[in-house]
Structure 1
């Protein structure tokens, strides 16, 4: 097993963080472009948001394929090939002639983007010891947030110069170059034991995870939290593109620098969980997300940015620890267990627009905040339940 802070740990963690970064620049590059694409194609806020929803939905479905498949054939090949295909599809998006073709390519891209997230944490679970796993997962999820920031900033900046096509070309080129580095950095696994793929066994593994209350709670918690967090960013772009802010695509892209709060939150999550407990820190992260949402109700752009930064810190702290919770408590078939967490996670993202759209139509951003708090109360109750489970387990 690879121990924390060794040379092998740094190399493997760097590779997986790079891969995570590349996945998320591709996934989120359209988000600052949504107001402009809405006007260009004459579609509704819900319609243009499908550019995000279809990719996260297909990504979620892909996890059901790549997770069990990785338990049979290994993890590295899946991560390498799907990452390269994702970069190629970003290049193809630059030449999409219609909104419908744009949606179709995003659907395909979402599927191949599922390859690395489906198996990366399972790879770490196989190769790293427990201490190394906690530290690596925090950095890996921090790279998620950096990729999300970069995709939106690069997308918004490139679109300001050459339109949406330039945004997709820039991200596609970055991905192809990064993929070459990823292939060279990622070491071959040493502790992986393949299992012959059997559909019945794969389904049985998934059902076994779903029958575990401890895992199921983490699945719902991660999915609902992400439903709120990521779709808040979509609706905030519509708010800030309108009067009195009237931010252009490049300005909207810079709003996503608030994700740096998430990078910090995920990075310190392991230390906080070691001092207190994972479940108590998950609950604290949800409370922080609720407080940040309250701050975004202010009219001041500076306070809105502060609220979004606090949101990112709280969300990524909770998400990082919920992810590692699954890795710790899964009984075998870790690839399937981790993939199932991400299925719930990205399904949440894909349906979030349908949940928040009525609140947006009701009273714009104030409605989005109310819709957010309603569901965050549910995840806070789940977090408290996990904390009680931890306390009972510690006393037995």
Structure 2
């Protein structure tokens, strides 16, 4: 097993963080473009938000394929090949002639983007010892947030210079270059034991994970939190593109620098989990996310940015710990267990627009905040239930 902070650990962690960074650059590049695309194609806020929803939904479905498949054929080839196709599809998006073709290409891209997230944490679970896994997962999820930041900033700045075509071209070229580095850095796994793929067995593993209440609770916590968090960013772009802020695409892209709060939350999650109850830290993350949402109700742009930064810290703290919780409590078929967590995570993201749109139409951003708090109260109760489970485990 690879131990924490050894040369092998740094190399493997760097490769997986790079891969994660590239995945989320591609996934989130359209987000600062949404207000402009809405006007250009004369579609509704919900319609243009489908550019995000279809990709996250197809990514979620892909996890059901790549997770069990990785348990049978291994993890490395899946990560390498799907990352390559993701870059190629970004280049294709640059030349999509219609809104419908954009949606179709985003659907396909979401599917291939599911390859690396489906198996990366399972790869770590195979190769790293417990301490190495906790530290690596925090850095890996921190790279998620950095990729999300970079995709939106690159997309926004490039769109101001050359429109959406330039945004997709820039991200596609970055992905293909990064893919070469990823292929060279990622070491060959040594601890993986292949299992012959059987559809019945794969379904049985997934059903077994869903019947495990300790895993199911973490799945629901991650999915609902992400539903709120990521879709808040979509609706805040509509708020900030309108009066009195009138931010351009590049300005909207810079708003996503608030994700740096999430990067910090992810990076310290491993340390917190080693000193305190992980479930208690999840509760703290949810409360912080609720507090950040309250701060964004201010009319001050500075306070809105502060609130979004607080949101990001709270969300990624809870997400990092919920993700590593699954790796810790999964009983066999770790690839399937990790993939199923991400299925809930991205299905939540894809459904968020449908949940928050009525609140947006009802009361604008205050309505979105109310819709967010309703769901976050549920995840707070879930985290509390996990904390009680932890306490029972310590007593027994």
Compute the TM-score of the two structures, normalised by the length of structure 1. Answer: 1.00
Correspondences of 1:244-255 after superposition (within 5 Å): 244-255=244-255
**Residue 274 of structure 1, CA deviation:** 1.3
- In 2, Cα distance between equivalents of 1:121 and 1:274: 18
Point out where structure 1 has 5 or more consecutive residues left out of the alignment: none
> 1:276-299, CA deviations, whole angstroms, 9 ceiling, x for partnerless residues?
110000010000000000000000
Equivalents in 1 of 2:18, 2:39: separation in Å? 34
Query: CA separation in 2, counterparts of 1:73 and 1:24?
Result: 25
Match of 1:88 in 2: 88
User: In 2, distance between residues paired with 1:272 and 1:12?
Assistant: 23
Matches within 5 A, 1:1-396: 1-396=1-396
Deviations 1:22-46 (A, max 9, x none): 0000000000000000000000000
Aligned counterparts of 2:197 and 2:115: Cα–Cα separation in 1: 17
In 2, Cα distance between equivalents of 1:124 and 1:269: 17
Give distance in 1, aligned partners of 2:263 and 2:356: 25
Q: Distance in 1 between matches of 2:28 and 2:43?
A: 19
Supply the distance in 1 between the matched residues of 2:33 and 2:82 (Cα, whole angstroms). Answer: 25
Runs of 4+ in 1 over 6 A off after TM superposition: none
**Could you list the runs of 5+ residues in structure 2 that have no partner in the other structure?**
none
RMSD: 0.2
- Secondary structure (helix, strand or coil) at the match of 2:5 reads coil
Return the offset for 1:304: 0.1
* Shift in Å, 1:83: 0.1
CA deviations 1:322-373 (Å, max 9, x no partner) are: 0000000000000000000000000000000000000000000000000000
Question: How many angstroms does 1:165 deviate by?
Answer: 0.4
SS at 2:14's partner residue? helix
Q: Whole-Å Cα distance in 2 between the matches of residues 121 and 286 of structure 1?
A: 23
Number of equivalenced pairs: 396
